[in-house]
Structure 1
Amino acid sequence: MQPNPPQVDDTTGVPRPRYSLWQLARYFLRLGTSGFGGPVALVGYMHRDLVEARGWIGEADYKEGLALAQLAPGPLAAQLAIYLGYVHYRIRGATIAGLAFVMPSFVMVVALGWAYVRYGGLAWMQSVFYGVGAAVIGIIAISAYKLTRKSVGRDKLLWAIYLSLAAVTVVTESEMAWLFLAAGVLVWLWRAPPPWLRRGNVPMLAAISLPATAAGTGMTDWTLLSQLGVFFAKAGAFVFGSGLAIVPFLYGSVVTEFHWLSERQFVDAVAVAMITPGPVVITVGFIGYLVAGLPGACIAAAATFLPCYLFTILPAPYFKKYGKLPAILAFVDGVTAAAIGAITGAVIVLARRSIVDVPTAVLGVAAALLLLRSRKVPEPLLVALAAVIGLLIYPLVHGS
């Protein structure tokens, strides 16, 4: 049952939010501390908790935030958290929500980085990831299913977009920003065509897209921390899609180009991001710690998240001002359908890497069924149980 309608401010006539900024900060602190499953699951949790359960955020505001997060470069879940903080509390809310969401997982990966360096690697991580990776697939599959039912509905055009983006993501194992834009434009032209299109006077349209990569910036004479800052700023500013999309970009430079980490260290860094809650892109903190200690972790994280923060709060006022126009609503519906299709495709891509044998298949299916049949099962408990099962089963299946 939805909460009572919000009260209206007597001086401005604007509805007051149903929650305080402190309540929102506490929510994102808790989500950043216990939200497992990567970007797919995290955006699902935000919808479930803030839109459906609490009624703090409207469905339209959520969809606008998801669309903006998909269109702009940077990590999906962090950008959506920043936008949702902006909805009622503007820049102050966006800043506090973003910091509250990111900080818990940053502290965790820095602590794991310290243990990794001190004790010469984390041999147990492979066993833990064996179990956790399978359970996470079940968690994010249910999140994608719920988002699909809620946002795509029975609209045939949205279903065509959704299925197309899911297929493209599965085949290419990447997310293409221009397809999100194209989906939005298609639904806009179909539902609310502009007058010049109805008259048949179609001018030539010029597509402007952000470059997917940046030109090289000779960094050979720079200090190591400066190199880290510039590199991770590029990663945050020019990589589109979910936090998982940053992984191949990081690998090409961190391992191959700069030789900051070995391949084994990089794989461990990705595993750390997957077995800790919060945004997957926080793996940059672990990488920064391995390269240059605590200053490296701080520089890597700050440089990665600052672009996504700016790419969210700068266009946010225009989304809020013009978001109710029929053309914008249609555009947002198209982008949202594309985004959820890409998220569903990402579930399949990740499943192919995490479901590797019968035990992992059973773990994934069991996690999905538990979440589907009961709303009272906490995801952190599932992840903890999967980690224990992985520690017990992996040595038996694959040898010690």
Structure 2
Amino acid sequence: MTNAEGVAVKPAKTADLPAHGIAFGEAVRVWARVALLSFGGPAGQIAVMHRIIVEEKRWIGETRFLHALNYCTLLPGPEAQQLAIYIGWLLHKTKGGLVAGTLFVLPGLVAIMALSWIYALFGNVGLVQALFFGLKAAVLAVVLEAVLRIGRRALKNNVMVGLAAAAFAALFFFQVPFPLVILVAGLIGYAGGKAGWAPFLAANGHGKVGGRQVADIDTALGEAVPAHARPPVSWSLKIAAAFLVLWLVPVLGLLALLGPGHVFTDIAVFFSKMAMVTFGGAYAVLAYVAQQAVDHYGWLKPGEMLDGLGMAETTPGPLIMVTQFVGFMGAYRAPGSLHPLVAGTLGGLLTTWVTFVPCFLWIFLGAPFMETMRSNRALSAALSAITAAVVGVILNLAVWFALHVLFAELRTMSGWGMTVDVPIPSSINIASAILTLGAMLAVFRFKIGMIPVLAGCSGLGVLYGLVTGSV
């Protein structure tokens, strides 16, 4: 084939393009951009995705975006990353989902790993301690803001408020395991929805996400359902088997080779369980992770969990990436015959693997059947109840953080089946209390963004360290 000047040209490979006309290479570049801009927790990440994928690129419309998002809220794990997997799969089949989901995690993985190395090597240096001293105060304010933000969306009636209060009491006063709290809330909601009780049938979902609404018919994908979104059951079984092998074979292999009680085995088993019960996002499960990592396994000290959360808040990617820091420090402190940094690196990578591989399984297996799941009234009611309970779970996390940030000493009080950590008033850290109050004023009164608050508090922490001579 030649052009008007008689020069041979290569014909366009239009057959290589999907029907919607979005080249896979372009999608890879866009997903990399989404990943690098995904700061601010799930709300900020979903907003970034909506702005780029829906408003700017017009690849899918508002209705389809929310349809996918509401499905992802039904699943355990980070809903923002799962939404990226879902849209990537919808546009470019399995390879699209793999690329979108992997790129969404990759920047955070690299950043948290680098910060974990720095923390392990220089964490006792005065400058680093002062920086994280300020960061803790900001993180506490951010978690409290998450309680209010999710509460406004989830607590739509007194029944939902009661579920949130019961979840908080079960965790804070009676140390009921987090997975059991979520399971019971889901069962109550399912029963309420099945019975048709009005409090459980209130509209669920995220509602409007962006400022500009884009109709599905005006987008590249349009309103039609792609052929690959209606796969046979055999395909679903094959993809489920493949990801189950990728997820569980390393866990079973570590159990066989190292046995129970080894740090790598504990990491693989514990975070695999977390991957199955992390309904409601990262904040909901962090209190349970912190409790187990600090009190049961001894991987971290209480304040170090806040340091890791500060790392995750200030780097791109899912907030649940904080678990990589937990796995890193756990293996770093029990390296066995390995160099501590090598063990820590392997522990962090193992944590990330067993945390995120299940996310691909949930989407590739369940997305083709999402219409049936979304139209099920009882399942929607179960999600509403779980979301309400999550408010109580996150409040428990906020109280746990506050006790360990603001007070140097706690005493345990027991009675009537309850066990409660009570602060000793004389051990209050005045500087930390003032900095926390300032962070709360910045977040709640002046509506300052998360990143400026985190940066400002870190800077004030360093300044305080210089003034007091601890740096």
Query: TM-score of the superposition, structure 1-length normalised?
Result: 0.68
Deviation track 1:152-174 (CA, whole Å, cap 9, x = no partner) reads 22x22212112211332333567
Q: Does 1:283 align with 2:325?
A: yes
2-structure distance, mates of 1:221, 1:237: 16
Hey, what does 1:166 align to over in structure 2?
168
- 1:28 pairs with 19, 29, 35, which one? 35
Report the counterpart of residue 236 of structure 1 in structure 2.
271
Residues 304-344 of structure 1 show CA distances to partners (whole Å, capped at 9, x for unaligned) of: 43345435654454455322222222122112212233123
Matches within 5 A, 1:248-267: 248-251=291-294, 255=298
The residue that corresponds to 2:44 in the other structure is 45
Change (3 A) 1:190 1:299: closer
Alpha-carbon shift at residue 361 of structure 1 (Å): 2.9
Contact kept, 8 Å, 1:129 with 1:271, in 2: the verdict is yes
Residue 177 to residue 372, structure 1, CA distance change in 2 (3 Å) = same
Q: CA–CA distance in 1 between the matches of 2:32 and 2:253?
A: 40
> Are positions 1:366 and 2:438 aligned together?
yes
**Cα pair 2:267 2:347 within 8 Å, conserved:** no
Matched residue SS, 2:37: helix
Percent identical across equivalent pairs?
Answer: 18
Query: Following the alignment from structure 1 to structure 2, what is the Cα–Cα distance between the partners of residues 358 and 183?
Result: 38
Contact 1:44 1:143 in 2 (8 A): no
Q: Is the 8 A contact 1:270 1:283 kept in 2?
A: no
Q: Which aligned pairs between 1:10-21 and structure 2 lie closer than 5 A?
A: none
Structure 1 residues 20 and 268 mapped into 2: Cα distance closer, same or farther (>3 Å)? same
1:237–1:223 CA distance, 2 compared to 1 (3 A): closer
Query: CA, structure 1 residues 349+121, in 2 after alignment: closer, same or farther (shift >3 Å)?
Result: closer
Given the alignment, which residue of 384, 391, 410 partners 1:333? 384
Match 2:461 to one of 380, 384, 390:
390
8 Å contact from structure 2 (residues 303, 404) kept in 1: no
1:141 is aligned to 2:148: no
* Secondary structure in 2 matching 1:340: helix
Please say if residues 285 and 300 of structure 1, whose CA atoms lie closer than 8 Å, have aligned partners that are also in contact.
yes
Distance in 2 between the 1:101 and 1:172 partners?
37
Question: What corresponds to 1:354 in structure 2?
Answer: 405
1:292 is the counterpart of 2:342 = yes
Listed one character per residue, the Cα deviations across residues 34-93 of structure 1 (whole Å, up to 9, x for unaligned) are 43xxxxxx2343466567997687556545433422xxxxxx4xx322321244333555
Range with greater deviation from structure 2 (300-309 or 81-90) = 300-309
Structure 1 residue aligned with 2:111, among 102, 108, 112?
108
Residues 1:89 and 2:88 are matched in the alignment: yes
Aligned residue number for residue 213 of structure 1: none
1:310 matched residue in structure 2: 361
How many pairs align?
Answer: 338
State the Cα deviation string for residues 124-176 of structure 1 (Å, max 9, x = none): 333222211111111221222122112322x2221211221133233356752
Unaligned 5+ runs, structure 1: 1-10, 14-18, 36-41, 70-75, 195-215, 256-260
Q: Would you say the 8 A contact 1:166–1:345 is kept in 2?
A: yes
Equivalent pair of 2:122/2:128 in contact (CA under 8 Å): no
Partner of 2:426: none
- Report the CA distance between 1:299 and its aligned residue: 3.9
* SS, match of residue 195 in structure 2: coil
Counterpart position of 1:130 = 133
Q: What residue is the counterpart of 1:202 in the other structure?
A: none
Q: Distance in 2 between matches of 1:228 and 1:57?
A: 43
Compared CA separation, residues 373 and 268, structure 1 to 2 (3 A): closer
Which whole-Å CA distance do the structure 2 matches of 1:364 and 1:57 have between them? 40
In the superposition, relative to structure 1, how do residues 346 and 58 fare at CA in structure 2: closer, same or farther (>3 Å)?
Answer: farther
The residue that corresponds to 1:245 in the other structure is 288
Amino acid at match of 1:140: V
**TM score, norm. by length of structure 2:** 0.59
**How far apart in 1 are the matches of 2:193 and 2:470?**
58
Please tell me whether the aligned partners of residues 162 and 338 of structure 1 are also in contact (alpha carbons under 8 angstroms): yes
Alignment match, 2:225:
none
Q: CA RMSD in A?
A: 4.2
Correspondence for 2:186: 184
For 2:82, what is the secondary structure of its paired residue?
helix
Question: How many angstroms apart in 2 are the aligned matches of 1:43 and 1:173?
Answer: 27
Whole-angstrom CA distance in 2 between matches of 1:120 and 1:351: 21
- Larger CA deviation: 340-349 vs 135-144: 340-349
1:331 and 1:373, CA in 2 relative to 1: closer, same or farther beyond 3 A?
Answer: same
Taking a change above 3 Å as real, the CA distance of residues 374 and 121 of structure 1, as seen in their structure-2 partners, is closer
C-alpha distance in structure 2 between counterparts of 1:56 and 1:379, whole Å? 29
Structure 1 window deviating more from structure 2 (182-191 vs 169-178): it is: 169-178
Residues 1:349 and 1:162: Cα distance change in structure 2 (over 3 Å): same
**Matching of residue 381 in structure 1 with residue 452 in structure 2:** yes
8 Å CA contact 1:135–1:383 kept in 2: the answer is yes
Q: Residue 395 of structure 2 aligns with which residue?
A: 344
Residue 273 of structure 1 contacts residue 282 of structure 1 at CA under 8 Å; is this kept in 2? no
